[in-house]
């Protein structure tokens, strides 16, 4: 059965079977569009945005339903505008009780018909649970940061590969300047940010996809020592050797160039043969993405890396929740997880590193940094 959420800034109710309810039934399977924090105690709900893998409901409306939907929506908006013109603040007033029943009923029933269409035409993704749990994590971050000046609103469907983007009115933490980062501080006066990010994350994902063991330490140094050393001068310094190896690796990875030594380890051509079928890549979690062959490897690695990062962030989230710790995940920044760490819980840092480092594709070395604002984070250990 389907339901719609009706809310203002202080209250949320549900439109279900033609009635307005304060609580939803828990003994039957329910469907609605998207998850929110106030639905966290309901385990009997499927979210159709996760079937569609889109955040915007209106992008998923079939042409056959568009005219009906837009008409019913405009009638609803007209009634809400009438309330505003009557000086009724719909942000705090129960506006659903102040407009005609038929307006709500027709609008919600139209959305229900669209939900029914989606349910009948879209298969539930095999990785639905990962999407759902990640959605819960992202909403938890939004809920936690809503008490601060810098609320963070993530969208995991903003890119084709699943990499996170941020949405307004939240802070653009993925793209903000160094000056803006300096203004973001831990939630407590004596707290700190603990930043954990992977060494050569996407390259290690590639190794995982081809079934190779993960080298210990810095991966580009390993490449230099084991693959590129014959190409470099003995007079090169270690940092120049690493940078040269890194540059040469990526110049090969996303090109048609052939390198026997690199191909023997990373097997990118065999990887494309395995995961690129019928003009689609299928990432390590089963997600399909249509693309041409030139972008297949990039999409395969990036989408698998995005899902792996979700999986690892959820391990940190569950570890902190299950231990009833005050520390919490504050930001997810590419492959970097930033934990708002309570000073009395600083002992957790070592354990969190181990949780984050152990992945389905082996042990990924972690770069560990701490700081008292988001800009001035000092390196503790770097692989």
Instruction: Give the C-alpha separation, 183 to 378, whole Å.
Output: 16
Structure confidence at residue 152 (pLDDT): 93
Q: Which of 232, 211, 234 is nearest to 223 (CA)?
A: 232
Domains annotated for the chain, with CATH where assigned, are 3-124 (no CATH), 181-200+306-381 (3.30.70.370), 217-265 (no CATH)
Structure confidence at residue 346 (pLDDT): 93
User: Do the Cβ atoms of 114 and 65 come closer than 8 Å?
Assistant: yes
Structure confidence at residue 230 (pLDDT): 56
User: Do the Cβ atoms of 345 and 151 come closer than 8 Å?
Assistant: no
DSSP state of 38: G
Structure confidence at residue 235 (pLDDT): 47
Q: For 306-316, b where at least 16 C-beta lie within 10 A, e where not — what string?
A: bbbbbbbbbeb
**Average pLDDT along the chain, 383 residues, taken 10 residues at a time:** 94 96 95 94 96 96 97 98 95 96 97 97 97 96 83 94 93 91 91 96 97 93 82 50 86 89 92 94 97 95 98 98 96 96 95 97 96 91 68
Structure confidence at residue 124 (pLDDT): 97
Structure confidence at residue 232 (pLDDT): 47
Instruction: Give the C-alpha separation, 158 to 161, whole Å.
Output: 9
Structure confidence at residue 199 (pLDDT): 94
Structure confidence at residue 359 (pLDDT): 98
Q: What is the tally of helices (H) and strands (E) in the chain?
A: 12, 17
**In the block, residue with structure tokens 């202080």:** 10
Cβ count near 256 (within 10 Å)? 7
Structure confidence at residue 242 (pLDDT): 82
Beta 362-363 vs 377-381: how paired, if at all?
Answer: unpaired
Structure confidence at residue 383 (pLDDT): 63
CB-neighbour burial class of residue 219 (10 A; exposed 0-12, middle 13-18, buried 19+): buried
**In the block, residue with structure tokens 């601060």:** 148
Helix (H) or strand (E) holding 121: helix 101-121
Structure confidence at residue 6 (pLDDT): 96
Structure confidence at residue 240 (pLDDT): 54
Q: What are phi and psi of 232, to 5 degrees?
A: -110, 150
Q: What angle do CA 41, 46, 47 make, to 5 degrees?
A: 100
Q: Is 119 helix (H, G, I), strand (E, B) or coil?
A: helix
């Amino acid at each position: 059965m389907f339901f719609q959420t009706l809310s203002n800034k202080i209250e949320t109710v549900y439109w279900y079977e033609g009635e307005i309810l304060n609580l939803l039934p828990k003994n039957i399977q329910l469907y609605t569009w998207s998850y929110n924090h106030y639905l966290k105690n309901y385990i009997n709900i499927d979210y159709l945005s996760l079937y569609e893998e889109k955040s915007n409901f209106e992008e998923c409306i079939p042409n056959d339903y568009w005219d009906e939907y837009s008409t019913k929506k405009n009638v609803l908006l007209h009634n809400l505008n009438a309330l505003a013109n009557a000086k009724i603040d719909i942000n705090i007033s129960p506006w659903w009780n102040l407009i005609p029943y038929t307006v709500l009923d027709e609008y919600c029933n139209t959305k229900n018909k669209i939900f029914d269409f989606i349910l009948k035409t879209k298969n539930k993704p095999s990785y639905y649970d990962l999407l759902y749990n990640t959605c819960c994590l992202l909403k938890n971050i939004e809920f936690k940061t809503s008490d601060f000046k810098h609320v963070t609103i993530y969208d995991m469907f903003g890119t084709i590969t699943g990499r996170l983007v941020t949405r307004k009115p939240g802070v653009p933490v993925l793209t903000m300047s160094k000056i803006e980062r300096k203004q973001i501080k831990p939630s407590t006066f004596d707290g700190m940010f603990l930043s954990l990010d992977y060494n050569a994350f996407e390259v290690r994902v590639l190794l995982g996809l081809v079934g190779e063991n993960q080298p210990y330490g810095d991966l580009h140094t390993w490449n230099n020592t084991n693959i590129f050393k014959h190409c470099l001068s003995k007079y090169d310094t270690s940092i120049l050797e690493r940078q040269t190896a890194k540059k040469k690796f990526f110049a090969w990875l996303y090109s048609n160039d052939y390198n026997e030594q690199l191909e023997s380890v990373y097997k990118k051509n065999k990887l494309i043969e395995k995961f690129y079928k019928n003009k689609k890549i299928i990432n390590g979690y089963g997600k399909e993405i249509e693309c041409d062959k030139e972008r297949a490897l990039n999409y395969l690695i990036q989408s698998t890396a995005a899902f792996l990062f979700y999986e690892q962030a959820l391990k940190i989230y569950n570890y902190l929740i299950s231990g009833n710790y005050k520390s919490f995940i504050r930001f997810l920044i590419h492959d970097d997880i930033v934990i708002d760490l309570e000073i009395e819980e600083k002992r957790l840092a070592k354990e969190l590193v181990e949780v984050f480092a152990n992945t389905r594709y082996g042990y990924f070395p972690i770069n560990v940094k701490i700081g008292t604002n988001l800009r001035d984070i000092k390196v503790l250990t770097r692989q």
